[in-house]
Amino acid sequence: MEKLLEVKDLEVSFQTYGGEVQAVRGVSFHLNKGETLAIVGESGSGKSVTSQTIMRLIPTPPGKIKNGQIIFNGEDLVKKTDKEMEQIRGKDIGMIFQDPMTSLNPTMKVGQQIMEVLMKHLKMSKSAAKERAIELLRLVGIPMPEKRVNQYPHEFSGGMRQRAMIAVALASNPKLLIADEPTTALDVTIQAQILELMKDLQKKTGTSIIFITHDLGVVANVADRVAVMYAGKIVEMGTVDEIFYDPRHPYTWGLLASMPSLDSDDKAELAAIPGSPPDLTNPPKGDAFAPRNPYAMKIDFELEPPMFKISDTHYAATWLLHPDAPKVEPPEAVKKRLRKLSSNYPQPVIVKESE
Amino acid sequence: MAEKQKLIEIKNLKQYFNVGKGNVIKAVDGLTFDIYKGETLGLVGESGCGKSTTGRTIIGLYKATEGEVLFNGVNVHAKKSAKELKTLKRKMQMIFQDPYASLNPRMTVADIIAEGIDIHGLAKTKEERMQRVYELLETVGLNKEHANRYPHEFSGGQRQRIGIARALAVEPEFIIADEPISALDVSIQAQVVNLMKKLQREKGLTYLFIAHDLSMVKYISDRIGVMYFGKLVELADAEELYRNPIHPYTKALLSAIPLPDPETERVRKRIVYDPSQHNYKEGEELSLREITPGHFVLCSEAEYKQYKAMYT
């Protein structure tokens, strides 16, 4: 499969009064054409910073890309100037933000905001742009687009605004769409509509999507592949089936176990992950998850675990996969979902640095 | 089921807001339900359906437009002497959604928690007051050293714990939790829910749990009420509601929740609710009717017969 985006060993830091916050600490992943990659993690895990860095939206200073490459369409975005980025942002890469209230311009008509993209990036004439804007609004499921195109964002409901946002992001037929918690602020019924819409549009346009969320239900619904982030690193990555039916990292276990399931009558205590995420001004030595990890071994506090490869597509960074590690049982709630996947290697393999 | 003691009785509660130019928003439009002692009643619905307004009206933050709320037989909204009001307020407490906005940033944690203790004169000496604060902090899983800090020094989950400690300080019987976990991370949500359950077991608290996250609501609630446009459309035991939803809106709501299971997600069929599907005739009377024991649905007489035939 053709790779559209490849992020290699990305490190992003912010200078604050309290010291340097290492928000992203060596993240590598790739995205194929036409696929959806979900990035999950708690607040502060670096998922939003990663996506904003791809868009080069990190304010510098205080932010700084300390290391790494972002290869998009064969070009390294890290090396681009602001001027060059303007040609890519909104054209080749579109973005949908969490809060449609604040991400649309309240003083501009919705149609105008879509037309702006069309006229700037696709060099359309004003009248052609307006027609296309109406078409786009219809495409994202807004009724009476001829009327809506002349309205202001405050005349739209939350779900409608998010649809308008998607129309703006899709106006220039981007190759990559980054959706940063696009449905978190919406009700479940509206969320279901927006997710269906995004999947539908992806089928029609073949756009690749990076979908950032903390809702595992949404992940199961939209994703082809999943990356789980914790404390600025990807701790596990795999296809959606691998993550949900054969998770290997204790943090992924914790996330899956802390959700009550709708179909069980189980009223036993939820398996909460104790404690709270680490302070990234001072990332802990060893595995950042170790202090909250009931499965932590001595080595977790000393040495950072390497990436292990469980199948061609499944990676996890935990010492539990080491041949010398003791066998452990995942929590009950996770055990119920485990399945044997045929694509797994007989033994997890350590990934070499160069790979 | 054995006869349970009613703690709260809500009778035809209405809360209208005048938004000017003669427009009235009927945020809560004729609610009638009871909350039993020691249970958790979950209230779910989409934003704008009136679930938060319901909570706020029950506790008396708004003056009800019509109807009444009885707490242990005492009408919350009736005129009362200051002393009566104070005793009543002590029995009912609230936990708010936003742990950032609901704690005064200029007060220390000890003062925030002890505010209720001071107002109600529950501690005779300074030492006793601090002793109570320390106990409460420990109850909610924080420690003594946190007492002299300010809210900004805490994470979202910790702040929500402070909010819970504040509510517990006056030893209430009934707590209204208005989306207490929506602003928290998944891993922290479970911690707070576990804490609330533990406190309920230990202190025999009664909760009204308002939320839009249906899976958490099902987990914590004994019974669940579904609201739609200011009305309760369905009320049943938590298990029953998820297993046999009757009202079409409840079905639509349940079908929209994404589950953390890729295989069921691939074949998910979403049900869309269209209020016109009922085809109610002019003047047809809608009310909550009991279809199976303890399972109430908002329906017309004709629908009642139909549901009755289908589900019993």
Tens digit of pLDDT for each residue in A188-245?
888 888 888 888 889 888 899 999 988 888 999 999 999 999 999 999 999 999 999 9
Q: A314 lies in a domain?
A: yes
B191·A274 Cβ contact <8 A: yes
How many domains does the structure of chain A reveal? 2
Residues from chain A contacting residue B238 (CB–CB below 8 Å): none
C-beta separation of A313 from A270 below 8 A:
no
pLDDT at residue A34 tops 70: yes
B229, B257, B277: which is the final residue of a domain?
B229
* Residue A233, in any domain of the structure: yes
Return the residue in A17, A157, A162, A187 with the most chain B beta carbons within 10 A, the one to mutate for interface testing. A187
pLDDT reported for residue B3 = 62
Dmax (CA) for chain A in angstroms is: 68
Whether A322 has a pLDDT exceeding 50, the answer reads: yes
Residue B285 burial by CB count (10 A; 0-12/13-18/19+): exposed, middle or buried? Answer: exposed
Residues B84 and B155 in one domain: yes
Q: What is the CATH number of the domain that holds A300?
A: 3.40.50.300
Domain enclosing residue B203, as ranges: 6-229
Same domain for A168 and A45: yes
Higher pLDDT, A99 or A169: A169
Does position B312 have pLDDT exceeding 80, yes or no? no
In this structure, is the dihedral angle defined by the CA atoms of residues B113, B115, B117 and B120, taken in order, positive or negative?
negative
pTM exceeds 0.80: yes
Beta-sheet strand order (sheet of A3-16) = A19-32, A3-16, A63-72, A75-76
pLDDT band of A162, cuts 50, 70, 90: confident
**How does residue A262 score in pLDDT terms, banded at 50, 70 and 90?**
low
- The per-residue pLDDT for B129 is 92
The single-letter code of the amino acid at A272 is A
Tokens 């009327």, residue located: A147
Q: Are B97 and B179 in contact (CB under 8 A)?
A: yes
B215 touches chain A (CB under 8 A): yes
Interface test with A, best of B49, B184, B187 (most A CBs within 10 A): B187
What is the rounded average pLDDT for all residues in chain A? Answer: 87
Domain boundary among A175, A192, A223: A223
Is the pLDDT reported for residue A354 higher than 50? no
Same domain, B191 and B284: no
Same domain, A146 and A50: yes
CATH (domain of B156)? 3.40.50.300
Q: Which of A110-114, A280-284, A290-294 comes out lowest in average pLDDT? A: A280-284
| Residue A355 resides in a domain | no
Mean pLDDT, rounded, for B283-309? 86
pLDDT score for A266: 60
Which residue among A214, A221, A223 places its CB closest to the CB of B186? A214
One domain, residues A48 and A20: yes
Q: Is B25 on the interface with A (CB under 8 A)?
A: no
Whether B104 is covered by a domain: the verdict is yes
Structural domain of residue A7, as residue ranges?
Answer: 3-223
In total, how many domains does chain B have?
Answer: 2
Distance (Å, whole) CA B106 – CA B110: 12
pLDDT band for position B112 (cuts 50, 70, 90): very high
Q: Is B40 on the interface with A (CB under 8 A)?
A: no
Q: Are B221 and B264 found together in one domain?
A: no
pLDDT, tens digit (0-9, with 9 covering 90-100), for B134-161: 999 988 888 888 889 999 888 888 888 8
Percentage of chain B exceeding pLDDT 70: 99
Q: Is the Cβ–Cβ distance between B170 and B109 less than 8 Å?
A: no
**Which range is least confidently modeled, A10-19, B51-60, B210-219, B243-252?**
B210-219
Owner of token pair 């707070």: B192
In the sheet where A36-40 sits, what is the strand order?
A93-96, A176-180, A208-213, A36-40, A225-230, A233-239, A315-316, A308-309, A349-350
Query: Within this chain, do residues A286 and A243 fall inside the same structural domain, yes or no?
Result: yes
Long-range Cβ contacts of A318-322 (<8 Å, 24+ apart): A318/A235, A318/A236, A318/A248, A318/A249, A318/A250, A318/A287, A319/A287, A320/A248, A320/A250, A320/A295, A321/A248, A321/A348
Per DSSP bridges, beta strands B174-178 and B92-95 are parallel
Q: What pLDDT shows up at residue A157?
A: 80
Domain membership of residue B143 (yes or no) is yes
What pLDDT sits at residue B290?
A: 87
pLDDT in tens, B207-244: 999 987 788 888 899 999 999 988 999 999 998 998 89
Using CA coordinates, name the residue in chain A closest to B198. Answer: A269
> Rounded to an integer, what distance in angstroms lies between the CA atom of residue B240 and that of residue A265?
11
